[in-house]
Amino acid sequence: MRPVGSKYLLEEPLGRGATGTVWRARQRETAGAEAAVPGQPGETVAIKVLKEELASDPDIVMRFLRERSVLLRLTHPNIVRVRDLVVEGDLLALVMDLVDGPDLHRHLRENGPFTPVAAALMTAQISDALAASHADGVVHRDLKPANVLLQQHDGQLHPMLTDFGIARLADSPGLTRTHEFVGTPAYIAPESAEGRPQTSAVDVYGAGILLYELVTGRPPFAGSTALEVLHQHLSAEPRRPSTVPDPLWTVMERCLRKNPAERPSAENLARGLRVVADGIGVHANAAQIAAAEGVGALLAPDPAPAAVPGVPGAADPTQVLPTNAPQGAYDPNAATSVLPYTSGPAGAADPTAVLPNTGAADPTAVLPNTGPQGQQPDQPHPWQSQLRAARDRNEQTQIQYLAPDEDPLRRRPQRQVARPQQQPRPAPQPRPQRPQPRGRQQPAADYGYPPQQPQHYAPPQQPQRYAPPAPEPRRPAPEPRAPRQRSANPTKIPGLGCLKGCLFTIVILVVASWLIWELTPLQDWIGTGKGYWDQLSDWAGRIGHWAKELGGSAGGGN
Ligand SMILES: Nc1ncnc2c1ncn2[C@@H]1O[C@H](COP(=O)(O)OP(=O)(O)OP(=O)(O)O)[C@@H](O)[C@H]1O
């Protein structure tokens, strides 16, 4: 059991999300006055220990502390109460009420879709929680079934919204600095995707998606990649499922309006949903049915949505897409994830192919145009850069011819060898372009190289343009090096070098043998007692004598 602060002991993990791990924990002693709920020793609580990368980010710690009072004062029957915040060393933790029950996502998976009435009533309670938090100026921004815990109460399921403030904590310059975001693609509001200012209307959009998922078992927008889902949020209209009664569809359709200014307030949404639930049930009377049919009148656009403080025009980092999800692997109910926003690995859908290129749906027109806080609104959002870079890359691979010596990827450090001045080679003539299928690379083998592999684009810090390559200024040919001079004497005598070497060797041998003769007991062993030079001349005389004898005997033989 691991202590958290001095007041809590972690017992067992309940689950792990993108922002941290939730533990069942026990209160060791009563918390201090700074806690919203002091608690009793032995009481069971849930503690979300935030991930280390969040906890070690000073911006997030600051934000955590700044938002302490907001988080602690959010109390509502449908909001999981935050009892205490613990900041200790590298540890950030939220102490919450323990909710004994599954989350809505798990419940949905295990039990299938809700009836329209049950879905309307469940969403109405969640909307109550949203209305209360919006009234307090807090926008959730990560509404999804996994963030709704179901408290079992007298055989009833009581929804409790959790993770308030977590999205906001993760929306930190620290994360954006490292180009990472937190996100739940299936629930992203169009304005969040576009980087337009966000208001409480993003939560109403999330409530519309949730309502749709409760009735049908799946969110309205799906796709094989996260970017595909994003694009649907931006431009596709949700399809009406056949099982959804007219009044309920009216509610969904209003919540899912692309224009946030056309969505109702959370308060009116809750009211409208209850009217609908009364009017579509089997026991509904005529007045209730009529009221349900006229629900549209209750869902007037919210005249004063709560703004998301501190992020004017910023893209919602809580909902950025994992663009590296491989084809077919995208889970619409995926957890909020902290993800690099790089384009995907091999096999990921090409964003330029996924996103249409025209009109309002032009990705360059609609994709978020803001990034980290403080970024100028007209600077391209990282997504924009990413998509543009990906498109540029495709275009380049389609049209560009690069001679090997001009290809920056092939250029290697080259040893400069002194060569006679060469005539500058004529620039390679562009070859006649054969029509290429889109995206196909030029056969690099034309230049005697193996074909170049397509490059995966990660991380896209800057759109990398490989073409048109600025005509590289030709390097001036290096000056021919002066011939190396081996000797200071410019006069060359053939064989002199060899003669010098021989003489030098002889001198060395003579000196060495003299030293050996004089300094070692060699002359005693040989027993002549003569000095070095005497001995040498003695040997020389003998050799001369033998030579004469040899010559004489050879001459006499003739
Ligand atoms: N107060 C709580 N009481 C009991 N269980 C909880 C509580 N809060 C969270 N849990 C459980 O802990 C698990 C992890 O929760 P967490 O919020 O970290 O993950 P998540 O919501 O699935 O992921 P994400 O980080 O995407 O929001 C979930 O299964 C959730 O049901």
Task: Point out the least confidently predicted range of 4-8, 11-15, 244-248, 496-500.
Answer: 496-500
Ligand 1, CB within 6 Å, residue ranges? 14-20, 22, 46, 48, 80, 96-99, 103, 146-147, 149, 162-163, 335-336
The predicted-structure confidence for 201-221, as pLDDT tens digits, reads as follows 999 999 999 999 999 999 999
- Which residues are paired to 301 by β-bridges? 264
Highest mean pLDDT among 113-127, 138-152, 169-183, 472-486: 113-127
The two most distant CA atoms of the chain are separated, in Å, by: 157
Choosing from 97, 128, 142, 163, which is the catalytic residue? 142
Q: Is the pLDDT of residue 314 over 80?
A: no
Cis peptide before 197 (omega within 30 of 0): no
The total of other beta-carbon atoms located within 10 Å of residue 166's CB is: 25
Task: Point out the least confidently predicted range of 43-57, 273-287, 543-557.
Answer: 543-557
Instruction: Give the ipTM.
Output: 0.96
Q: What is the mean pLDDT of residues 397-424?
A: 37
Highest mean pLDDT among 107-111, 306-310, 454-458, 522-526: 107-111
Which atom of ligand 1 has the smallest separation from the CA of 142? 27
Residue with the nearest Cα to atom 9 of ligand 1?
22
Q: Is the pLDDT of residue 152 over 60?
A: yes
Answer yes or no: pTM beyond 0.90: no
How many Cα neighbours within 13 Å face the side chain of 197? 9
Residue with the nearest Cα to atom 1 of ligand 1?
98
Q: Is the pLDDT of residue 427 over 80?
A: no
Q: What is the pLDDT confidence band of residue 536, given thresholds at 50, 70 and 90?
A: confident
Q: What is the pLDDT confidence band of residue 118, given thresholds at 50, 70 and 90?
A: very high
Q: What is the pLDDT confidence band of residue 232, given thresholds at 50, 70 and 90?
A: very high
- State the Cα–Cα distance between residues 345 and 339, nearest whole angstrom: 13
| Probe target for ligand 1 pocket from 152, 162, 168, with the most ligand atoms within 8 Å of CB | 162
Q: What are residue 353's phi and psi, to 5 degrees?
A: -85, -30
- State the Cα–Cα distance between residues 528 and 505, nearest whole angstrom: 27
Q: What is the pLDDT confidence band of residue 492, given thresholds at 50, 70 and 90?
A: very low
Is residue 97 annotated as a catalytic residue, yes or no? no
Residue 422 backbone class (left: φ over 0; alpha: ψ -120 to 50; beta: rest): beta
Which atom of ligand 1 has the smallest separation from the CA of 97? 1
- State the Cα–Cα distance between residues 252 and 278, nearest whole angstrom: 16
Measuring CA to CA, how many Å separate 264 from each of 127, 211, 257, 261, 366?
A: 11, 14, 10, 8, 23
Query: What is the pLDDT at residue 500?
Result: 79
Highest mean pLDDT among 309-318, 353-362, 381-390: 309-318
Q: What is the pLDDT confidence band of residue 67, given thresholds at 50, 70 and 90?
A: confident
Token pair of 174, please? 């620290």
Token pair of 100, please? 């004994």
Highest mean pLDDT among 6-15, 25-34, 109-118, 227-236: 109-118
